[in-house]
């Protein structure tokens, strides 16, 4: 019995170079066609987003409109919601009218549509897709865009400082907090306002299903923020002093395994962090070991 390599060699000899190239071209064309078709299908079935008036006002930084909407009873937690409306329409299609003069053909098409939708409903019940794909609170978008007055208005109206962006049911795909995006943007005033309102200084961002890929704390995020050095130091000191964030506390990497702490990341010379980061984190790490009096002393040294 010939080996696979011998069989391929004989096939190559019988087909010739031109035939092989033509076959390869057909395979490539088919793969490209499937790829383009798959992308088009994903775009068509992509979640559609709906925004509340409060979310729109928060995105534009209209603090006066935010105060007015909250006074009228708008919920500070309802912002932008993405759902699977296109897919729900596919799972529950309307009956198409039969084309004139071809009733038999129309019956076959109807039967195929109903059978296909029945299979889809068995695999993915419509009730699952009625859950939001992602939610974004007005406070999250205001913090991300640096609208300080809007953040104060939303917090005064009862917005939760820890409710931000979630993707997937119950944040199963990923989530991030208003504090995280405020740190990324270098908005130290918003960071201070969120901490004062009770934001968790360790709740930052989760990536991957249920945080299995990585969970970053705001202090770790501050090390990587693309902002001027003075701004990054200001944000970090706010987290350390006001939020009492521990620079020696570890985040997590894949499947909850402990990752490096902010102090370890700053001291890793291969990461290329400024020496000012190391000095600041060392000072607070040493102060944390000495208790509250040491933290107060570290803040005074800043």
Question: Is 80 exceeded by the pLDDT of residue 36?
Answer: no
Question: Is 90 exceeded by the pLDDT of residue 233?
Answer: yes
User: Cα Rg for the chain, rounded, in angstroms?
Assistant: 28
pLDDT for 145 equals 95
Question: Is 80 exceeded by the pLDDT of residue 138?
Answer: yes
Average pLDDT over residues 28-57: 64
Average pLDDT over residues 279-294: 75
For 141-179, b/e burial (b = at least 16 CB within 10 A) is bbbbbbbbebbbbbbebebbbbbbbbbeeebebbbbbbb
More confident residue, 17 or 215: 215
pLDDT, tens digit, 9 for 90 and up, residues 157-203: 999 999 998 876 665 677 899 999 999 999 999 999 999 999 999 98
pLDDT, tens digit, 9 for 90 and up, residues 87-105: 555 545 444 454 555 555 5
Average pLDDT over residues 49-67: 91
The structure's pTM equals: 0.68
CATH number of 51-301: 1.25.40.20
pLDDT for 41 equals 46
Instruction: Identify the H or E element spanning 148.
Output: helix 148-156
Going from N- to C-terminal start, the domains of the chain cover 1-44, 51-301
pLDDT for 139 equals 96
pLDDT for 59 equals 94
pLDDT for 147 equals 96
- The average confidence (pLDDT) of the chain is 76
Strand order in the sheet with 165-167: 48-51, 80-83, 134-136, 165-167, 174-176, 205-207, 214-216
Average pLDDT over residues 28-38: 59
pLDDT, tens digit, 9 for 90 and up, residues 95-137: 445 455 555 555 555 555 555 555 555 555 555 555 667 789 9
Percent of the chain residues topping a pLDDT of 70: 57
Give the integer Cα–Cα distance in Å for 58 and 151: 8
Instruction: Report the length, in residues, of the chain.
Output: 302
Give the integer Cα–Cα distance in Å for 214 and 224: 15
Q: Identify each DSSP E strand in 106-194 by its residue range.
A: 134-136, 165-167, 174-176
């Amino acid at each position: 019995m010939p080996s696979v390599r011998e069989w391929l060699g004989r096939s190559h000899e019988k087909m010739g170079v031109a035939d092989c190239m033509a076959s390869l071209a057909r395979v490539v064309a088919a793969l490209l066609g499937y790829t383009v078709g798959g992308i088009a299908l994903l775009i068509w079935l992509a979640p559609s987003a709906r925004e509340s008036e409060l979310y729109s006002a928060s995105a534009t930084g209209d603090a006066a409109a935010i105060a007015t909407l909250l006074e009228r009873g708008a919920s500070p937690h309802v912002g932008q919601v993405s759902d699977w409306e296109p897919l729900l329409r596919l799972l529950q299609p309307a009956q198409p009218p039969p084309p004139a003069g071809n009733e038999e053909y129309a019956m076959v098409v109807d039967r195929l549509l109903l059978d296909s939708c029945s299979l889809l409903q068995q695999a993915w019940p419509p009730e699952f897709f009625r859950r939001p794909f992602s939610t974004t609170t007005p406070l999250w978008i205001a913090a991300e865009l640096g609208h300080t007055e809007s953040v104060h208005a939303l917090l005064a109206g009862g917005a939760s400082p820890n409710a931000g962006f979630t993707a997937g049911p119950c944040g199963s795909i990923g989530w991030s907090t208003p504090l995280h995006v405020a740190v990324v943007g270098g908005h130290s005033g918003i960071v201070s306002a969120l901490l004062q309102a009770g934001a968790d200084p360790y709740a930052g961002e989760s990536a991957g299903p249920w945080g299995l890929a990585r969970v970053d704390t705001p202090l770790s995020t501050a090390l990587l923020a693309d902002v001027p050095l003075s701004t990054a130091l200001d944000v970090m000191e706010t987290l350390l002093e006001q939020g009492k964030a521990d620079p020696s506390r570890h985040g997590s990497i894949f499947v909850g395994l402990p990752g490096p702490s902010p102090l370890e990341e700053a001291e890793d010379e291969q990461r290329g962090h400024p020496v000012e980061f190391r000095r600041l984190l060392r000072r607070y790490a040493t102060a944390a070991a000495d208790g509250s009096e040491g933290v107060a002393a570290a803040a005074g040294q800043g």
